[in-house]
Amino acid sequence: MDYLPAKHYLEIYENRLRMAKSGVTQPDKITVRFMEVLVDSLRQLNPDDEIELIANNSETILVHRKTGCVLAELHKE
């Protein structure tokens, strides 16, 4: 598995959330909520903590490597 630091995902998802809230993008409400939960979770971590991204066509899950805690998950039908 490849892991990236929490600061990597925080920067990306803060920007995506900002764009969604300002109307630049129009993701559905479930995706916006996913980003809000993820950003809140990432802000509580050490910026260098390793995060695993698990993604396929129907789900996206971000997991804290050290604890195994799921930070946020998005399931689409």
Domain coordinates in residue numbering, the chain: 3-75
Q: Are 66 and 50 in contact (CB under 8 A)?
A: yes
pLDDT digits (tens, 9 = 90+) for 30-50: 999 999 999 999 999 999 999
- Which pLDDT does position 2 carry in this prediction? 82
Average pLDDT for the chain: 95
Q: What is the pTM of this model?
A: 0.90
Q: C-alpha angle with apex 73: 72 to 76, nearest 5 degrees? A: 150
